[in-house]
Structure 1
Amino acid sequence: MEVYEAKLQDPNLDIKAKCTFATELRDSIEAWCQGTNYALFLAKFMPIFMETLMRGQPVFISTSPEQASRLRSCILEILNRLPMSPSEATEPYAVQVVDLCMQLVRMENEENAVLCMKIVMDFERYHTKVLADRVQPFLDLIQEMFESMEQTVKDTFDGPVPGVSQGIPSTPSNSQYSQSPRPGSPVAATSDLGGDQQQARSLLKGMHSFKVLAECPIIVVSLFQAYRNSVPKNVKAFVPRIKTVLMLQAKPQEKAHQDAKAQGKIFAGVSKDIKNRAAFGEFITAQVKTMSFLAYLLRVYAQQLTDFLPALPDIVVRLLQDCPREKS
């Protein structure tokens, strides 16, 4: 344990080497978190993990050396794998971890933001006493993601096809979703190339990511179950946002449905004018997960959804028609 501690703190060790040690630590996490070793492990490594995440910068270019080493991702994966039992072991770090991860969600790329969301969910579920006042800010953050989806859909599907961005995207309009080929196509196969042959692409920003949004419904349901007193207020806040997200359509896809209807036909599949098939698949997945969230709310709060119920059959049918075959 001392060797890993020294290596991860060594300022002269390059980031790829640190990632190697962090990866070994991650892959053997179960062994380090047994019995009395767990408290010692956390005491030694939590300060290192927190400092590394606070000091480092998010990466939005896939071929960046820091992204290649995946040090930040590896540390977040370790935090995501930490056992929550016994709760006494992780409780002293709960507030710091949750506060940092909520900050990182706003800054990080999509992959790391997903990990941050899962970490916050786990800590808040298992440390309800010390984190009770952190639940509402986290739910507010998720509501903000729902609110941003209308603009994200427009920026992703309704504008010109984006190219490879050479800078860090600060908004969805800065081509967070690069054009993606269908899985299995010759172009898609080139993404498996390593090193210098791999083409640079912009990584997504977490707050405007369909993939991150898709994680939110199960997170909210889990928090509702752990913090019952937060449910009434937040159901009222989530219902209109859920409606908005489910009603969203990519303009080219909406036009394909309208054109088919005008001819007395039914359109199923992905419009040829959807230039970013991968992003579209993630968008539909996020809507399907949001529909499952709605189904959960209908069990108890159907009265708040009465005006929306007539629209649900059409939305369900549309999602079935729009779902790319690789997502079915």
Structure 2
Amino acid sequence: MMAVNESNPVNTFRNYLNILNDSSAKEELKLKATQELSEHFEMIMQSPAYPSFLENSLKIFMRILQDGEPQFIQENTMQHIRKLILEMIHRLPITESLRQHVKSIITMMLKILKSDNEENVIVSLRIIIELHKHFRPSFNPEIQLFLRFVKDIYTNLPNHLAYIFETSNEIWITDLKDLNFDVLLSEAYSIRTIHVEKLHDSNSHQQIYNLLPRGILSLKVLQELPIIVVLMYQIYKNAVHQEVAEFIPLILTTINLQPTITQRNLPQKDIFVDFMGAQIKTLSFLAYIVRIFQNSFHQLINFLMRTCLLEKGSHWTRFALSHTQH
């Protein structure tokens, strides 16, 4: 990899962008170029040529994210490239130069939420949050589609409970080509370890990879969703009031999901920790929702308890009832 020209670093960085934009360049070379860009990103942002560099780099970054296939093996070269690109977008300074790109970036991040892996979706969510906090873009139908997407995640969660806790985190195969990604990704809610044991004559050699869950099933992503829904309500209150109201029964159902004793005692403790973390974040979401819908909340809880959708004696229910009385 070429050294950075300190007298005119932007030219060097443009060369790195050209490598990324070259369809014939090898993935390993593209990764090195991306790593160099990431390592010297602050230097680029302080350059007088930054506005033009921003324009050029975002076109290339967006094309790679748009045209590239989501990767679900953490160690894949293209996964490293895609994640580094997302992290650089997240690091972009909040300036007027960025404002004109906000809409296209948000559109791309919303697409990534629906199709990409846990690592990339978490970065994408943080980009969406930062851009909305600082630029407060005008309301558009994509926001409602996003809220419906989040509701679908909460709606489907109870159906996944058994798979979340009872699917082994260890996968043993002799070749990565043997993996059935459609099946594995349909039941992966956290990172799963893949052991590839290859036989060479009389010796066996083991390689270890990590399977990243899809963002729409990830327990870690679930922990990030409440804050972004709250932010959307704060910015677009009148436009999304009804959508947020529809979260109330989903929130109550989520915080009352209880793993069985057997599931709690399964070896994969990190899954239980992530699940509880998601419930705690959802509980904080509930505390916010209570303040918005104070008048109707107590009535709704009582209705859900009467219809057996909510456990009367659960600690989550006691929390909700106590907060509606203040």
TM-score exceeds 0.5: yes
* CA-CA distance at 1:313 after TM superposition: 7.8
More helix by share: 1
1:64 aligns with 2:73: no
**Partner in structure 1 of residue 147 of structure 2:** 139
What is the TM-score normalised by the length of structure 1? 0.75
- Judged with a 3 Å threshold, the aligned counterparts in structure 2 of structure 1 residues 65 and 249 are, in CA distance, closer, same or farther, namely same
- Judged with a 3 Å threshold, the aligned counterparts in structure 2 of structure 1 residues 308 and 14 are, in CA distance, closer, same or farther, namely same
**Partner in structure 2 of residue 46 of structure 1:** 58
Q: CA RMSD in A?
A: 3.1
Is residue 176–residue 204 contact of structure 1 (8 Å, CA) maintained in 2?
yes
* CA-CA distance at 1:73 after TM superposition: 0.5
**Partner in structure 1 of residue 115 of structure 2:** 107
Greater relative CO, 1 or 2 (CA 8 Å, sep 6+): 1
* CA-CA distance at 1:290 after TM superposition: 0.5
Of residues 151, 154, 171 in structure 1, which corresponds to 2:159?
151
The unaligned stretches of length 5 or more in structure 1 are 181-186, 188-195, 257-269, 320-328
Of residues 87, 94, 100 in structure 2, which corresponds to 1:77?
87
SS where residue 211 of structure 2 aligns?
A: coil
1:217 aligns with 2:229: no
**Partner in structure 2 of residue 230 of structure 1:** 239
Cα distance in 2 between the residues matched to 1:277 and 1:176: 13
More strand by share: 2
* CA-CA distance at 1:170 after TM superposition: 5.9
The unaligned stretches of length 5 or more in structure 2 are 1-9, 173-178, 196-204, 306-310, 320-326
Is residue 31–residue 77 contact of structure 2 (8 Å, CA) maintained in 1?
no
Alignment coverage as a number of residue pairs: 283
* CA-CA distance at 1:103 after TM superposition: 1.4
Q: Deviations over 1:123-173 (max 9, x none)?
A: 23333344544322222222222122112323212x453642823246764
Of residues 264, 271, 277 in structure 2, which corresponds to 1:279?
271
Q: Deviations over 1:228-284 (max 9, x none)?
A: 32352133111111111111122x33xx6xxxxxxxxxxxxx832x24222221111
What is the TM-score normalised by the length of structure 2? 0.76
* CA-CA distance at 1:48 after TM superposition: 0.5
SS where residue 201 of structure 1 aligns?
A: strand
**Partner in structure 2 of residue 161 of structure 1:** 168
Pairs within 5 Å for 1:82-93: 82-84=92-94, 86=95, 88-93=96-101
**Partner in structure 2 of residue 314 of structure 1:** 314
Is residue 169–residue 268 contact of structure 2 (8 Å, CA) maintained in 1?
no
**Partner in structure 2 of residue 116 of structure 1:** 124
**Partner in structure 2 of residue 23 of structure 1:** 35
* CA-CA distance at 1:210 after TM superposition: 1.0
- Judged with a 3 Å threshold, the aligned counterparts in structure 2 of structure 1 residues 300 and 44 are, in CA distance, closer, same or farther, namely same
SS where residue 209 of structure 2 aligns?
A: coil
Matched residue type, 2:91: R
Cα distance in 2 between the residues matched to 1:284 and 1:277: 11
Of residues 128, 140, 150 in structure 1, which corresponds to 2:136?
128
Q: Identity of paired residues, percent?
A: 27
**Partner in structure 2 of residue 265 of structure 1:** none
Q: Deviations over 1:10-40 (max 9, x none)?
A: 3333222222222232233333234753421
Which structure would you say has the larger Rg? 2
Is residue 188–residue 214 contact of structure 2 (8 Å, CA) maintained in 1?
no
Tell which deviates more after alignment, 148-157 or 25-34: 25-34
Is residue 255–residue 316 contact of structure 2 (8 Å, CA) maintained in 1?
no
Cα distance in 1 between the residues matched to 2:269 and 2:230: 29
SS where residue 208 of structure 2 aligns?
A: coil
Cα distance in 1 between the residues matched to 2:75 and 2:220: 21
Is residue 169–residue 205 contact of structure 1 (8 Å, CA) maintained in 2?
no
Is residue 206–residue 212 contact of structure 1 (8 Å, CA) maintained in 2?
yes
- Judged with a 3 Å threshold, the aligned counterparts in structure 2 of structure 1 residues 229 and 318 are, in CA distance, closer, same or farther, namely closer
Cα distance in 1 between the residues matched to 2:217 and 2:26: 32
